[in-house]
């Protein structure tokens, strides 16, 4: 069998310290430090530990050329080669572990920049509770943050000739200023009200709808949307969790931007219900999970990376695209008198499992949501000028 190394490896020397009684009794500090070599590969679920000598051995196997397996076994040792094949660090051209080879092939087809792929893969969460974590560390309030971290960098910075700035004329506010003033992250959704279909449809259309399909070349179309997108590639898909919308069955949907329609999706994963999925998706932030509608923003990376191949900026462009979508959703919701939010504190892996996504092929970068505000604010929001509260309904 011919073998090669999987693509996109990164070796991390990770230092950890542990208490050791023997070390203390021997007159030392009692703290033993060790360095573990971890191998990260974006298409694998977790990092794999190797020893220091294996770093050079694995690094020395070509990720491109197929090498005779017998020769590799003779050079590196039979059991090591078997272990690495089992773990997916090596792949065979044929034979068992076809799933791992296919995953490696699929990863190669995406054209990720190697470091961006590592960042994306390793910053995904599975079953995290961000609220609990912050409460435990005492960083869930402004005073707690201040106590733990000291004061933040100042809110303003002086640059240039700041003693004699050129004053700009104040502009007369228009309806657009009033819209911007009323935008506020909503953490108080009405837990029982149904969102009217017209409002739901309007926000979806404005944030995600395609206003034109433009032929760019043979077999190459681009969409015109209300948001900019790097290379006009518009890679981001909107996966919708409908909880309470008039006339819509609660469930999972995929938004189709040209037809302005929702394709119902099967509910994957081991979730017992929509409400518990919503809570897991936003990492325990119940105030967001209460929204009538959640929208998972998940780029199909290869749509962007087709143009920006193996490009150091391409992943950044995908993230920026999601930010534009979010702000457009915010303003569209605000214009309708609705509340909206965005969060990056999400359990990407749980969301991928539920929607049948692959992470390195199409993975969530953020979750947005929108809906009707509650009558009363119980979870704090940043609305110092009272433009969002009380809600207009
Ligand atoms: C990318 C991004 C991620 C955010 N993630 C969270 C979050 O996890 N939880 C949360 O309560 N707010 C989150 N926010 C909302 C911010 O806390 C909020 O924008 C900020 O406090 C300012 O309030 P405003 O949006 O009402 O002006 C996020 C905002 C952005 C832009």
For ligand 1, whether the C-beta of 347 sits within 6 Å is no
Q: Are 93 and 7 in the same domain?
A: yes
pLDDT band at 196 (very low <50, low <70, confident <90, very high): very high
Indicate whether residue 345 lines ligand 1 (CB < 6 A). yes
Asked, for residue 143, whether it belongs to a domain, the answer is no
Residue length of the chain: 393
Q: What is the pLDDT of residue 381?
A: 96
Q: What pLDDT is stored for residue 94 in this prediction?
A: 84
Residue 384 Cβ < 6 Å to ligand 1: no
Closest residue by Cα to atom 6, ligand 1, is 343
Give the separation between CA 108 and CA 310, rounded to whole angstroms.
Answer: 10
Give the CA distances from residue 285 to residues 92, 282, 371, 379, in Å, rounded to whole numbers and listed in that order. Answer: 43, 6, 16, 11
Q: Among 92-101, 208-217, 362-371, whose mean pLDDT is lowest?
A: 92-101
Distances 9 to 62, 78, 134 between C-alpha atoms, Å: 11, 21, 32
pLDDT tens-place string over residues 223-245: 999 999 999 999 999 999 999 99
Q: How far is the CA of 343 from the centre of ligand 1 (A)?
A: 6
For the beta carbon of residue 55, count every other beta carbon within 10 angstroms: 15
Domain match, 192 and 93 both? no
At residue 271, does pLDDT exceed 70?
A: no
Residue 256's pLDDT is 98
Are 14 and 38 spatial neighbours (Cβ–Cβ below 8 Å)?
A: yes
- For 126-140, 260-274, 280-294, which range has the lowest pLDDT when averaged over its residues? 260-274
Ligand 1 mutation target, pool 343, 377, 379, most atoms within 8 A of CB: 343
Domain C-terminal end among 88, 110, 132? 110
Residue-wise pLDDT for 70-80, tens only, equals 999 999 999 99
Evaluate whether residue 137 is within a structural domain: no
Arithmetic mean of pLDDT, 307-334: 98
Residue 24 Cα to ligand 1 midpoint, Å, equals 47
Judged by phi (left if over 0) then psi (alpha if -120 to 50, else beta), residue 234 lies in left
In this predicted structure, what is the pLDDT of residue 95?
A: 76
Confidence of residue 290 (pLDDT cuts 50, 70, 90): very high
Residues 272 and 217 sit within 8 Å (Cβ to Cβ): no
Q: How many A from CA of 329 to the centre of ligand 1?
A: 14
Taking residues 136-155, what's their average pLDDT?
Answer: 95
Question: What is the pTM for the complete model shown?
Answer: 0.95
How close is the Cα of 186 to the center of ligand 1, in Å?
Answer: 9
Whether 184 is in the pocket of ligand 1, judged by its Cβ within 6 Å, is yes
pLDDT confidence of residue 62: 97
Distance 152 CA to ligand 1 centre (A): 17
Instruction: Examine the fold and report which residue of 70, 89, 110 is the final residue of a domain before the chain moves on.
Output: 110
Judgement on whether residues 228 and 103 belong to the same structural domain of the protein: no
CATH code for the domain in which residue 315 is found: 3.40.109.10
- In the chain, the percentage of residues whose pLDDT exceeds 70 is 98
* Domain with 12 in it: 2-110
**pLDDT exceeds cutoff 60 at 190:** yes
Q: Is residue 213 part of a domain?
A: yes
Q: Both 91 and 205 in a single domain?
A: no
Mutational pocket test of ligand 1: of 342, 364, 381, 389, the residue with most ligand atoms within 8 Å of the beta carbon: 342
Q: Among 246, 227, 243, which residue's Cα sits nearest to residue 235? A: 227
Mean pLDDT, the chain, integer: 95
270 pLDDT band (50/70/90 cuts)? low
Q: Would you state the pLDDT for residue 35? A: 95
Quick one: 72 and 193 in the same domain? no
Distance 304 CA to ligand 1 centre (A): 26
Does 154 have pLDDT greater than 70?
yes
pLDDT of 98: 87
Query: Number of folded domains in the chain?
Result: 2
Q: Are residues 73 and 180 in the same domain?
A: no
| Any ligand 1 atom below 6 A from CB of 368 | no
Among 61, 90, 110, the domain boundary falls at 110
User: Is 163 near ligand 1, meaning CB less than 6 Å away?
Assistant: no
Q: Are residues 97 and 230 in the same domain?
A: no
- For ligand 1, is residue 286 a contact (CB within 6 Å)? no
Question: Which own/partner pairs from 208-216 qualify as long-range (CB within 8 Å, at least 24 positions apart)?
Answer: 208/238, 208/255, 208/257, 208/295, 208/325, 208/329, 209/257, 209/260, 210/234, 210/257, 210/258, 213/258
Query: Over the stretch 103-130, which tens digit does the pLDDT of each residue have?
Result: 999 999 999 999 999 999 999 999 999 9
Judge if the beta carbon of residue 294 lies within 6 A of ligand 1: no
- What integer pLDDT is reported at residue 1 of this predicted model? 87
Same domain, 183 and 106: no
Does one domain contain both 201 and 322?
A: yes
Residue 79 within a domain = yes
Confidence bin at 251 (pLDDT 50/70/90): very high
User: Do 65 and 182 lie in a common domain?
Assistant: no
CA-closest residue to ligand 1 atom 5: 343
CA 388/CA 40 separation, integer angstroms: 45
The predicted-structure confidence for 81-103, as pLDDT tens digits, reads as follows: 999 999 999 999 887 788 999 99
For residue 217, pLDDT over 60 is answered with yes
The Å distance, Cα 187 to ligand 1 centre, comes to 10
Same domain, 244 and 104: no
Predicted pLDDT at 176: 97
Euclidean distance between the first and the last CA atom of the chain, given in angstroms as a whole number: 68
Whether residues 208 and 290 share a domain: the answer is yes
């Amino acid at each position: 069998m011919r073998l090669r190394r999987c693509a996109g490896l990164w070796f991390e020397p990770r230092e950890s310290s542990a208490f050791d009684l023997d070390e203390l009794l021997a007159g030392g500090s009692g703290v033993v430090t060790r360095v573990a070599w971890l191998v990260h590969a974006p298409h694998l679920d977790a990092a794999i530990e190797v020893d220091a000598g294996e770093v050079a051995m694995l690094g020395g196997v070509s990720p491109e050329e197929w090498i005779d397996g017998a020769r590799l076994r003779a050079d590196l040792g039979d059991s090591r080669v078997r272990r690495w094949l089992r773990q997916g660090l090596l792949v065979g051209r044929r034979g068992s572990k076809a799933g791992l080879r296919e995953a490696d092939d699929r990863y190669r087809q995406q054209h990720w920049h190697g470091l961006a792929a590592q960042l994306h893969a390793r910053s995904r969460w599975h079953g995290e509770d961000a609220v609990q974590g912050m409460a435990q560390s005492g960083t869930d309030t402004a005073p707690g943050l201040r106590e733990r971290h000291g004061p933040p960098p100042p809110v303003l910075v002086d640059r240039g000739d700041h003693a004699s700035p050129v004053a700009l004329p104040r502009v007369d506010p228009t309806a657009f200023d009033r819209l911007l003033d009323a935008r506020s992250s909503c953490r108080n959704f009405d837990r029982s009200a149904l969102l009217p279909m017209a409002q739901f449809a309007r926000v979806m259309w404005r944030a995600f709808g395609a206003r034109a399909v433009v032929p760019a070349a043979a077999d190459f179309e681009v969409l015109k949307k209300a948001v900019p997108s790097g290379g006009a590639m518009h890679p981001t898909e909107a996966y919708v969790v409908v909880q309470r919308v008039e006339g819509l069955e609660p469930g999972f949907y995929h938004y189709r931007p040209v037809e302005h329609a929702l394709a119902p999706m099967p509910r994957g994963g081991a979730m017992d219900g929509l409400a518990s999925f919503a809570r897991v998706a936003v990492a325990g932030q119940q105030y967001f999970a209460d929204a009538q509608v959640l929208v998972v923003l998940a780029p199909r990376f290869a749509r962007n990376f087709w143009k920006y191949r193996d490009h150091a900026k391409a992943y950044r462009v995908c993230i920026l695209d999601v930010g534009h979508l979010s702000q457009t959703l915010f303003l569209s919701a605000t214009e309708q008198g609705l509340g909206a939010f965005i969060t990056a504190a999400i359990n990407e892996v749980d969301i991928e499992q539920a929607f049948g996504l692959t992470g390195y092929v199409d993975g969530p970068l953020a979750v947005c949501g929108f809906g009707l505000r509650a009558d009363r604010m119980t979870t704090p929001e940043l609305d110092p000028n009272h433009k969002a509260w009380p809600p207009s309904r």
